[in-house]
Amino acid sequence: MKASKLILCAGLLGIASAASAQRTYGPEDEGRRFNDGTRVVCSNVEVQKNSKDPNRIAGTATGAVIGGLLGNQVGGGNGKKLATVGGAIAGGAAGRTIQGNRQIDNGDRVVEKQCVRR
């Protein structure tokens, strides 16, 4: 019984120390030094913020519809069905890629100060 309590206490202590090791630092901590020789260093980092449709659903859906319509114009019978499905899949992939590239080119970029312990 004592051994299991000791193991439980050691486990809880390990979890508590791991949680404190993942601390985030802000600009107010810049230059702070620790006993192990590390210190908090802050730098300005450009971060891209795309709050509008980050999963690129609109581009994927639009591309799938256009690809399906174009694929439907090809072949006949079962080949027409296969071309429609293939066109929808290819169009969806292309639409997603195009929207992703546009978001990278036109996305909002914000400079944030990020601080890490080094």
CA-wise closest residue to 98 among 37, 40, 32, 53: 53
What average pLDDT does range 23-33 have in this prediction?
Answer: 89
Range from 24-28, 79-83, 92-96, 100-104 carrying the lowest mean pLDDT: 100-104
Task: Give domain limits for the chain.
Answer: 2-117
Task: Give residue-wise pLDDT tens across range 30-84.
Answer: 999 999 999 999 999 988 776 677 788 999 999 999 999 999 998 888 899 999 9
Q: Is the pLDDT of residue 17 over 70?
A: no
- What is d(CA 72, CA 76) in angstroms, rounded to the nearest whole number? 9
Split at pLDDT 50, 70, 90, the class of 85 is very high
Mean pLDDT of the residues in the chain: 82
- Tokens 């971060």 sit on residue: 47
Split at pLDDT 50, 70, 90, the class of 4 is low
Split at pLDDT 50, 70, 90, the class of 22 is low
Question: What DSSP character marks residue 36?
Answer: T
Q: Is the pLDDT of residue 16 over 70?
A: no
Is 45 exposed, middle or buried (CB count within 10 Å of its CB: 0-12, 13-18, 19+)? exposed
Query: Using an 8 Å Cβ cutoff, are 42 and 114 in contact?
Result: yes
